[in-house]
Amino acid sequence: MSENNNPSNIFRLAVIFFFVVILAALVVVRTSEARISRGQKQSSGASTGNPQNGKLVFENMGCNKCHGSEGEGVSGSGQNTGVPRIASTSLTLPAFLELVRKPKGQMPPFGIQRVSDAELTDVYALLQTLKPVTARETSIPANMKNGERLFVSYGCYECHGYLGQGSSRTGGSRLGPPQIPLSAFVSYVREPTGQMPPYTAKAASNEELAEIYDFLKSIPPPPPLKTIPLLNQ
Amino acid sequence: MSCEKVQTMAKPRNNEINRRAFLKNAAAGAAVLAAPPIAPAKHPAPERGATLPPAMSSEAEVGAPSPAEVLTADRTGSDFMVDVIKTLGIEYICSNPGSSFRGLHESVINYGGNKNPEFITCLHEESSVGMAHGYAKIAGKPLGVFAHGTVGLQHAAMAVYNAYCDFVPVYIIGGNIIDGTKRMPPVEWSHSVQDAAAMLRDYTKWDELPTSLPQFAESAVRAYKISMTPPMMPVLLIADAELQENPISPDAKMRIPSLALAAPPQGDSGAVAEAARMLAAAENPVLIVDRAARTAAGVPLLVELAETLQAAVVDMGGRMNFPTRHPLNQTGRGNEEIANADVILGLELNDFWGSVNSFRDQMERTSRPITKPGAKLISISSTGLFFKSNYQNFQRYSEVDLDMAADAQATLPSLIEAVKKQLEASRKSALQARGARLAAARLQTLLKAREAATYAWDASPISTARLCAELWSQIKDEDWSLVSTVGFVSGWPLKLWNIDKYYQFIGGSGGYGIGYGAPSAVGAALANREHGRLSVNIQCDGDLMYAPGVLWTAAHHRIPLLTVMHNNRAYHQEVMQVQIMADRHSRGIDRAKIGTAIDNPGIDYAKLAQGLGLYAEGPISDPKDLAPALHRALEVVKRGEPALVDIHTQPR
């Protein structure tokens, strides 16, 4: 009599078989989940995208630094070409991808090494969810004159000049008129990436920053270069 | 001539006579007026420290001359010292007077005829040395500084440190009274010091305390030679008052050693060949120059090297190294070129590490390379030949791949020749393409700078760009020389002006010590005067107030110089520093001007300058008033006088 014919062995094999099946099923499920998870990180769909992941990419890649946290952009004036509003972009996805890879104007190119097509698809999905708000709507009602006072008393002029003209010596960039939307302005002031000291909400409120921003917006564009003979010799 | 060089070395001790011993001996011979001068050999001086006759000591104590005592002498040690100074070709002595060198002072103005050297009256020793600093960068040689004992040398100290950091020769003679028994109480005791040079030893290249006139002669010539050998630095001689004032025989022939300057050290031939190979093979070579042009001859050499390689040149501005409008000058976009470089050659680069790394000053200070991985670094610098420990101006250690401790300018001819040999004909078109790319980029940089200058063009306070553009417009057709640093006005002259002559820009202070600007400008203008050049100084307000008396020196000695005040009414660098701290702590961000602002009341620099004897006007805060004011002041300067225009400016 072989051991295989033993009922207890048959039962034991049945139990083992059951657990193997269960285990295999779990592996299949986990593998599928893992595949889905990776797919979400790399691609959340060829055309739909994941807005939540898109928001992370949007911020990690610093898109908000220029276009604003709501993609609102800022209109240009004079030599300042501004930053395009990208909320609810009207571009098709392929055109959007093409523009990010080979931008026109001052936007730096974002190559495939830095951000994948799938991730950009997620960003695209995010942009579709954003309402096309204007800078004014994101701004707290502000007082331009008070903004000018704050610009001086809070020391912004020290590096950026009284009219926000900037200085290569101090490293203070040109601010007037601003070339980024208010949300990006506030974001940078709170957590600057360069040498600029951080201004926390404790030091300067959102309302005050909005007033400073409005002051900067009120600065008229400079005279055209060709009209200044002293700068053409 | 007493400065006649003789081949026979005189017996030093025999030619020196202790002042009091000489007087006694002279008294003995005074009865015969026609008697020949006392021969030194017959009246040997007592050794220093020998016991003096009681009667002489007694006279000294009571200060009353004996009826037999002769109180005059025809020739003293200080006369001989002036002979020595004259042989060195020192044209000026900048000095605030002091009793410890009264002998030298008097010998310069009387025995020496107050010409070569001429005594330039300064109102502070920091001004004396600051003037010497600026003078040397135009004249290419040192002028002399006399400084008085403990107080004068300490006053001079900061300016000496600036010159030391800027690798500039300054020739300082400090007065002192070594022998305590010869010091008149109480002041001379307070102004005397056991080791006078110790005060400056950490930031001078060499010092000496000669104890005899022959040693003074040797040491004086040696000091000059050491000071002028790259890396050039200040030197200090201590002239004991006794040595100055003791008589010497009128017919004594004192020998002055001849001077032959040392040839600047060139880079090792093997290292030069390797550097040439690396540069010739590079896809994007970059030359970073700082104090590379030691003289005017250095500029065409740098141009030749850059053009041979069609390499980008980034000028850190320690000197005028490279024409601002040369197509290969990429200073305005230097970091971009450095980041793209595969081979970087630093020439007399003061801070190599800082040139190839970025540094972020936040709560946690961080840095990162701006070069791409694998970029090769080559250094040619004479600063590697001379190091001191205490003061840290040698900057952070830089990991270079090839280092030549040699003078860059002296090495350039052999490097250029080696590069030409290394360059293959097949690379000609690639080099042309590189040159064309760089030329286009420079034009774009110039355009961007001009566009940037349009911002705040009509602002009040006046923008620094407007100030510099207005100034340039009025001097560009003259033979001008900018004798000030430009960093505090955001470097606009280097961006907007066509600077192509060596004397048109002299770099900065070296040690970043405030108080350098005004005196160095006056000193540089002094050197420019004999060439008839129009000297222009963009002067920071805080810097001027360290020792504004140097403006009086300019007026007194008729040194033509236009001073244009960059009056931002603050120690602005420190305003920003305090602001950083307030922001970091999220408190009092509107209080950074406490302790840093220079206002309330604002200083009226025009009145200040007028009071010091200058033509001056201002303050000007409307940009429309700027051009006429500059024009009026320039007319004064062209007549050979200093003038000042006070301008209320933007911070930077």
Q: How confident is the model at residue B31 (pLDDT cuts 50, 70, 90)?
A: very low
B297 pLDDT higher than 60 = yes
The residue of chain A nearest to residue B493, with distances taken between CA atoms, is A231
Q: How far apart are CA B505 and CA B652, in angstroms?
A: 19
CA gap B527, B138 in Å, rounded: 6
Per-position pLDDT tens, chain A of length 233: 333 445 455 555 555 555 554 544 444 444 444 333 433 444 444 458 999 899 899 888 888 878 888 888 776 655 556 778 888 888 889 988 999 998 887 788 898 888 999 999 999 999 988 875 554 444 444 588 999 999 999 999 999 999 999 999 999 999 988 889 999 999 999 999 989 999 999 999 999 999 999 999 999 999 999 999 999 98
Query: Are B212 and B12 contacting, i.e. CB atoms less than 8 angstroms apart?
Result: yes
Decide: B389 and B356 in contact? Cβ < 8 Å: no
Secondary structure element (H or E) that encloses residue B420, with its range = helix B408-422
Closest-CA distance, A104 to chain B, in angstroms, reads 18
pLDDT at B224: 98
**Which residue from A minimizes the CA distance to B587?**
A203
Inter-chain CB proximity B575 and A158 less than 8 Å: yes
For B589, the closest of A203, A225, A228 (CB atoms) is A203
Q: Does the beta-carbon distance from B451 to A225 stay under 8 Å?
A: yes
Query: Quick check: helix, strand or coil at residue B567?
Result: strand
**Burial tier of A40 (Cβ tally within 10 Å: 0-12, 13-18, 19+):** middle
Which residues of chain A lie closer than 8 angstroms to B462, CB-CB?
none
Answer yes or no: is the ipTM higher than 0.90: no
CB contact under 8 Å between A170 and B576, yes or no, is yes
Q: How many CB atoms lie within 10 A of CB B350?
A: 21
Mutation target to probe the A interface, by most A beta carbons within 10 A, among B589, B596, B621 is B589
Distance between A26 CA and the closest CA of chain B, angstroms: 46
Q: Which residues of A touch B587 (CB under 8 A)?
A: 202-203
Check A222 against B456: CB less than 8 A apart: yes
Pairwise CB contact (< 8 Å): B473 & A165: no
- Digit-coded pLDDT (tens) for B336-348: 999 999 999 999 9
- 0.80 surpassed by pTM: yes
C-beta separation of B470 from B626 below 8 A: yes
What token pair was written down for B345?
A: 């050659």
Task: Give the pLDDT score at A67.
Answer: 84
Tell me which residue of B119, B94, B117, B189 sits closest to B149, measured CA to CA: B189
Q: What DSSP state is assigned to residue B45?
A: P
Segment B367-394 mean pLDDT? 95
Q: With contacts defined as CB-CB under 8 Å, which chain B residues touch A228?
A: 453-454, 457, 469
What's the confidence (pLDDT) of residue B33? Answer: 29
Measured between beta carbons, which residues in chain B are less than 8 angstroms from residue A198? 362, 583-584
Give B488's contacts in chain A (Cβ within 8 Å). Answer: 169
Q: Give how far B395 is from chain A: nearest CA, Å.
A: 20
Please give the DSSP secondary-structure letter assigned to residue B211: S
Cross-chain Cβ contact A162/B461 below 8 Å: yes
The alpha carbon of residue A170 is apart from the nearest alpha carbon of chain B, in Å, by 7
Alpha carbon separation from B582 to A74, A199, B97 (Å, rounded) = 30, 9, 45
> Do A101 and A111 form a contact (C-beta atoms < 8 A)?
yes
Average pLDDT, whole number, for chain B?
A: 91
> Which two structure tokens, joined as six digits, stand for B27?
């008294």
Determine the Cα–Cα distance for residues B356 and B352; give it in Å rounded to an integer: 7
Average pLDDT over residues B267-290: 98
* Pick from A154, A170, A174: CB nearest B455: A174
CB atoms < 10 A from the CB of A17, how many?
Answer: 10
| Residue A77: predicted pLDDT | 56
User: Binning pLDDT at 50, 70 and 90, where does residue B37 land?
Assistant: very low
A&B contacts, CB < 8 Å = 121
Where do the H-state alpha helices sit in B323-376? 334-340, 352-356
Integer Cα distance of A167 and B206 in angstroms? 41
Residue with tokens 């040689």: B141
B450 closest CB neighbour out of A164, A197, A231: A231
Q: Do B459 and A162 make contact, defined as CB atoms within 8 angstroms?
A: yes
pLDDT in tens, B46-100: 333 333 333 334 444 445 556 678 889 999 999 999 999 999 999 999 999 999 9
Q: Which two tokens stand for residue A183?
A: 């949300």
User: pLDDT (tens digit, 9 = 90+) per residue, B600-645?
Assistant: 999 999 999 999 999 999 999 999 999 999 999 999 999 999 999 9
d(CA B446, CA B551): 35
Which chain A residues are closer than 8 Å to B451 by Cβ?
A: 79, 225
CB contacts of A168 in chain B (<8 Å) are: 490-491
pLDDT mean over B275-289: 98
* Encoded tokens for B176: 């002192």
β-strand pairing of B357-360 with B366-369: antiparallel
Query: How much of chain B exceeds pLDDT 70, in percent?
Result: 90
d(CA B290, CA B275): 18
Mutation pick from A146, A156, A167 vs chain B, by most beta carbons of B within 10 Å, is A167
User: Any idea what DSSP says for residue B333?
Assistant: G
Query: pLDDT tens for residues B504-544?
Result: 999 999 999 999 999 999 999 999 999 999 999 999 999 99
Report whether pLDDT(B306) > 80: yes
| Number of C-beta neighbours around residue B595 at 10 A | 10
Residues from A contacting B (CB-CB < 8 Å) are 79, 153-155, 157-159, 161-170, 174, 176, 194-195, 197-200, 202-204, 222-225, 228, 230-233
Rounded Cα–Cα distance for residues B520 and B484 (Å): 8
Suggest the residue from A169, A174, A175, A216 to mutate for an interface test with chain B (most B CBs closer than 10 A).
A169
**B150 pairs with which residues across the strands?**
none
B651/A167 CB distance under 8 A? yes
Instruction: Find the mean pLDDT for residues B457-480.
Output: 98
Contacts of A190 in chain B (CB under 8 A): none
